[in-house]
Amino acid sequence: MAKGSTKKVAFISSSLPRKCGIATFTSDLISNTATAAKGEFEPLVVAMRSEDHKYNDPVKFEIRQNVKSDYICAADYINFSHVDVVSVQHEFGLFGGDAGSYLSLLLDRLKPPTIMTLHTVLDDPNPAYHKSLVDVCNASYKVITMNERGVDMLRDVYGISGKKVQLIAHGIPDLPFVDSNYYKHKFGMEGRRTILTFGLLNKKKGIEVMLKAMPAIIEADPSVLYIVLGMTHPTVLKHDGESYRFSLQRIIKELGLKEHVIFHNRFVSNEELHNFLCSADIYVTPYLSREQLTSGTLSFAVGTGKAVVSTPYWAAMELLADGRGKLVNFDDSEQTAEAIIEILQDDSLFYSLRRRAYEYGRSRTWPKIGQAYWKLFSAKRLPVRIAARIAPSMAKTISTIEVPEPSSAHLKRLTDDTGLYQHAKFTIPNRKYGYCTDDNARAVIAMTKYYSQYPEPGALELFDIYLSFILHSQNKDGSVRNFMNFDRTWVKNEPVNDALGRVLWALGTVMAKPPSPSYLSIIKDCFDMSVKHVKKQYPRGMAYSILGMSDYLKQFPGASDIKRQLAIAADGLIAQYEENSLPDWQWFEDTLTYDNAVLPHALFVAGLTFGDKKYIEAAEKTCEFLLSNTFNGEHFSFVGCKGWYERGKTKAAFDQQPIEAASTVMMLRPAYDATQNSRYLTLQRKAFDWFLGENDLHIPLYDFRTKGCCDGLIADGVNSNQGAESTLSFLLSLLAIVESYTIADKIEGGKGVSLRQARLIEQTTKKPTPIKSISVKGKPKKRQVEELA
């Protein structure tokens, strides 16, 4: 490397102030690489965002874990940032998708070479985890593992070439070999024999095993003090609160350990951690599972020359070999106590363990690990990588219009503590018409899907309001009320509706992807109470019910009664189709009316659920018939509600309603799943583009400013009111697109750049970039560009 030049390295990882081991590892790696590079290193961090942390340099970009488009955008950002090499810190749970598979969306698009550091390697992975790890390794120039076992597993289990794999140990602080008594005064522990465990708490840590060993240890040496240092893991805290810590405190009380156990429930700085380590006599990791290939906490303890007692998980077996520590059986308090007592009572053993550990740790101090990584980063002949451009059918680019970011902002505007208002005057809730179960059920579906991709607390709050509404709509016999006045009284003698079917669809959606398992019992009881009414429904009500029942079976696939009810409903739709269809009219009724696509949608789902071709054949015929009457070869033109489309008559051109676009978008994904016809994916995006201006009037219905959707496409423009049904239709469509597609940028004819690419270039070069107009069938939409920007 020429003198005076720098290597720009992008790190994809979690990052401080996020409280996790990988964030700390990355911080130490950057700091020590910078020291090794002597001014020739420029780090750039792409942080896996958690909660609302505020990052400082060198964090330049953030990725939300479950947002696919963020991974694509991050790749583009790196590509435009003149990066020489990319360093990825890989842990399956850090990235979104099945087994962290979203990371591949980013890697396949990168131009700089990638060095992959693996923090976890599984010896018996399920197919999803196996594929995910193979994919990220194949996309990498080098793969780093921190353990000899990892090298063997990558070769034998994953088929990763030995030439690609390199062993670089986990870094260890470069601390002196000290007498623990010198540091004990800092914590008021003079005269105590101290045992330490540190790290983020979760049930796999096995702290209860050590607590149950304490009575025997105290009997042998009453001066013993056990320190548990570290806060509860943020992910555990989010889902289970402090239940694990409270269970440990109960054990302390039951065993009378109050004077011998201290919890420090906080995330400590490196300086504090070093002081605690230096003050400890014995370090303990009583972990419950062997499948842990690396351990930063154990590495630190070994590096500071602690006498260590540990269970034989993979990292411990290597670090504590050759007399560098004592290994005890998993979940064995008695053997743990015996090992610790032996060390406390045998000074020769105590100092022998310490000396061997400290000497071993000298080979893997952080300054030496920084030098090893810098040697990789600064290699003279890094490979030139051509980013993969072959996209699978699910990720096919079929539109020049970018999708907006999903937002619940307008739904929140239309929601009070009762539920979702039906209608609006422009964006202002119209209290005159109150609420309806139909809309609140759709909102439950939308928020369930939204929360699974964007787990924001605000989404869960809206979800609970909408769920509360539809549960309240249920009568004691399982039937459902639909319309509620603003004063919270139910409308009497309400017209015929499909609310029961939509409620079952909503409840089924929650059962398939519950925000928390705690919801399942409540949802199941309500579903079971109402499902007996399915056969009384009109066709669309049966179709909604089929969608809900299929989701129910994803959670409880052995539910025989639900299978019977689903078959009854699907057979009912088949009978309806056979009774009304003609060679030139392949439909369930003699009129195309409202929410048409849900009927073939339900049969596609029934066919996929049962593996029954009769449902799929009928679904495909009716789907094609509907498409032939709503897609004109360029864009969708849905059946208008002012006259509908009666057999033998002219199709009404207006008013076209957003629910027709939404139901078409949602139908076309299972149509693809059932037939593997990629044309359906192309049409799915075309149907979505109707909201953004690909329609008869070339006018967008989605409002980029309010995040709402206009109520319809009318003869002279759009109905500017932005009610619940239209806004939910847009949001459900957008979430379906985000779920189905990798949104890729498309450069038209090799000239100009997309809007997002222009933004990225300006961020990295600070030079203005020409932006082409977004083209909607040849009609430039300058206003859309301004709104998107």
Write out pLDDT tens, residues 29-42: 999 999 999 999 99
390: pLDDT strictly greater than 50: no
Cα distances (Å, whole numbers) of residue 17 to 24, 34, 197, 266, 655: 9, 20, 22, 13, 52
- The mean per-residue pLDDT over the stretch 16-23 comes to 86
286: pLDDT strictly greater than 50: yes
- How far apart, in whole angstroms, are the C-alpha atoms of residue 411 and residue 421? 9
Percent of the chain at pLDDT above 70? 90
pLDDT band of residue 257 (cuts 50, 70, 90) is very high
List, as one string, the DSSP characters of 547-571.
Answer: HHHHHHHHH-TT-HHHHHHHHHHHH
- How far apart, in whole angstroms, are the C-alpha atoms of residue 163 and residue 62? 32
Cis peptide before 58 (omega within 30 of 0): yes
Residue 367: predicted pLDDT: 95
Q: Cα torsion for 435, 438, 442, 443, to the nearest 10°?
A: 20
Helix axes of 366-377 and 21-37: crossing angle, nearest 10 degrees: 70
Exposed e or buried b for every residue in 174-197, given b needs 16+ CB within 10 A? ebeeeebeebbeebebeebbbbbb
> What one-character DSSP code corresponds to residue 692?
G
Which helix (H) or strand (E) segment is 365 a member of?
A: none
Beta strands in 556-612, from DSSP E residues, in sequence order: 591-592
pLDDT band of residue 752 (cuts 50, 70, 90) is very low
Q: Are 14 and 20 in contact (CB under 8 A)?
A: yes
673 residue type, one letter: D
Q: Is 171 helix (H, G, I), strand (E, B) or coil?
A: coil
Residue 745: predicted pLDDT: 33
- How far apart, in whole angstroms, are the C-alpha atoms of residue 720 and residue 249? 59
Residue 386: predicted pLDDT: 52
Residue 426: predicted pLDDT: 93
Structure tokens at 495: 């017209």
Beta bridge partners of 48: 63
- How far apart, in whole angstroms, are the C-alpha atoms of residue 142 and residue 151? 12
Residue 454: predicted pLDDT: 82
Beta strands at 779-780 and 775-776: parallel, antiparallel or unpaired: antiparallel
pLDDT tens column, 533-576: 999 999 999 999 999 999 999 999 889 989 999 999 999 999 99
pLDDT tens column, 99-110: 999 999 999 999
Residue 66: predicted pLDDT: 85
Structure tokens at 477: 């016999």
Please tell me which residue, 682 or 232, carries the higher pLDDT value: 682
502: pLDDT strictly greater than 60: yes
pLDDT band of residue 619 (cuts 50, 70, 90) is very high
- How far apart, in whole angstroms, are the C-alpha atoms of residue 90 and residue 121? 10
Helix axes of 724-740 and 658-675: crossing angle, nearest 10 degrees: 30
Q: Are 15 and 49 in contact (CB under 8 A)?
A: no
751: pLDDT strictly greater than 70: no
Lowest mean pLDDT among 105-109, 114-118, 182-186: 182-186
User: How many Cβ atoms from other residues are within 10 Å of residue 172's Cβ?
Assistant: 27
User: How many Cβ atoms from other residues are within 10 Å of residue 347's Cβ?
Assistant: 9
Q: Cα torsion for 449, 453, 454, 455, to the nearest 10°?
A: 80
pLDDT band of residue 409 (cuts 50, 70, 90) is very high
615: pLDDT strictly greater than 70: yes
Q: Is 502 helix (H, G, I), strand (E, B) or coil?
A: helix
395: pLDDT strictly greater than 70: no
Contacts of residue 786, Cβ cutoff 8 Å, sequence gap at least 6: none
Mean pLDDT of the chain: 87
pLDDT tens column, 310-327: 999 999 999 999 999 999
Burial class for 39, CB neighbours closer than 10 Å (0-12, 13-18, 19+): exposed
pLDDT tens column, 191-204: 899 999 988 888 88
pLDDT tens column, 155-164: 999 999 888 9
Total residues found in the chain within this entry: 789
Residue 764: predicted pLDDT: 40
384: pLDDT strictly greater than 80: no
Residue 381: predicted pLDDT: 73
DSSP H helical segments within 139-206, as ranges?
148-156, 180-184
385: pLDDT strictly greater than 90: no
Residue 19: predicted pLDDT: 81
Lowest mean pLDDT among 54-63, 105-114, 508-517: 54-63
Beta bridge partners of 780: 775
Structure tokens at 120: 């976890």
Q: Is 769 helix (H, G, I), strand (E, B) or coil?
A: coil
Structure tokens at 158: 């994953």
Beta strands at 282-285 and 193-198: parallel, antiparallel or unpaired: parallel
Residue 760: predicted pLDDT: 41
Q: Are 529 and 473 in contact (CB under 8 A)?
A: no
Residue 174: predicted pLDDT: 84
Q: Are 298 and 310 in contact (CB under 8 A)?
A: yes
Residue 293: predicted pLDDT: 83
Beta bridge partners of 117: 89, 144
Cα distances (Å, whole numbers) of residue 344 to 18, 224, 354: 37, 9, 13
Q: Cα torsion for 384, 389, 395, 398, to the nearest 10°?
A: 140
Q: Are 112 and 80 in contact (CB under 8 A)?
A: no
Helix axes of 658-675 and 613-630: crossing angle, nearest 10 degrees: 140
Q: Are 569 and 535 in contact (CB under 8 A)?
A: yes
491: pLDDT strictly greater than 70: yes
Cis peptide before 487 (omega within 30 of 0): no
- How far apart, in whole angstroms, are the C-alpha atoms of residue 643 and residue 591? 10
pLDDT band of residue 741 (cuts 50, 70, 90) is low
393: pLDDT strictly greater than 80: no
Structure tokens at 379: 């290699």
186: pLDDT strictly greater than 80: no
pLDDT band of residue 694 (cuts 50, 70, 90) is very high
First to last CA, the chain: 40
- How far apart, in whole angstroms, are the C-alpha atoms of residue 14 and residue 21? 9
Which helix (H) or strand (E) segment is 121 a member of?
A: none
Q: Are 525 and 476 in contact (CB under 8 A)?
A: no
User: Smallest Cα–Cα separation from 695: which of 654, 725, 749?
Assistant: 654
pLDDT tens column, 364-383: 899 999 999 999 999 877 77
Residue 753: predicted pLDDT: 34
Percent of the chain at pLDDT above 90? 68
Residue 399: predicted pLDDT: 47
Please tell me which residue, 764 or 282, carries the higher pLDDT value: 282
Structure tokens at 485: 């006045």
Residue 85: CA count within 13 A, CB half-sphere: 21
pLDDT tens column, 427-476: 999 999 999 999 999 999 999 999 988 888 899 999 999 999 999 999 99
Burial class for 60, CB neighbours closer than 10 Å (0-12, 13-18, 19+): middle
User: Smallest Cα–Cα separation from 170: which of 323, 22, 18?
Assistant: 22
- The mean per-residue pLDDT over the stretch 125-150 comes to 93
Lowest mean pLDDT among 208-222, 273-287, 387-401, 664-678: 387-401
Beta strands in 363-471, from DSSP E residues, in sequence order: 424-425, 428-429, 435-436
Residue 782: predicted pLDDT: 31
DSSP H helical segments within 4-126, as ranges?
21-37, 68-79, 103-107
Helix axes of 499-512 and 457-472: crossing angle, nearest 10 degrees: 140
Residue 49: predicted pLDDT: 86
Residue 240: predicted pLDDT: 74
Which helix (H) or strand (E) segment is 193 a member of?
A: strand 193-198
- How far apart, in whole angstroms, are the C-alpha atoms of residue 195 and residue 280? 6
Contacts of residue 402, Cβ cutoff 8 Å, sequence gap at least 6: 743, 745, 754, 755, 756, 774, 788
Predicted structure pTM score: 0.60
- The mean per-residue pLDDT over the stretch 482-510 comes to 96
- How far apart, in whole angstroms, are the C-alpha atoms of residue 410 and residue 727? 8
- How far apart, in whole angstroms, are the C-alpha atoms of residue 646 and residue 414? 35
pLDDT band of residue 784 (cuts 50, 70, 90) is very low
Residue 397: predicted pLDDT: 36
Q: Is 753 helix (H, G, I), strand (E, B) or coil?
A: strand
- The mean per-residue pLDDT over the stretch 267-285 comes to 82
Residue 738: predicted pLDDT: 81
- How far apart, in whole angstroms, are the C-alpha atoms of residue 408 and residue 426? 17
Cα distances (Å, whole numbers) of residue 247 to 239, 252, 254: 16, 9, 11
3-state helix, strand, coil in the chain (%, to 5): 50, 15, 35
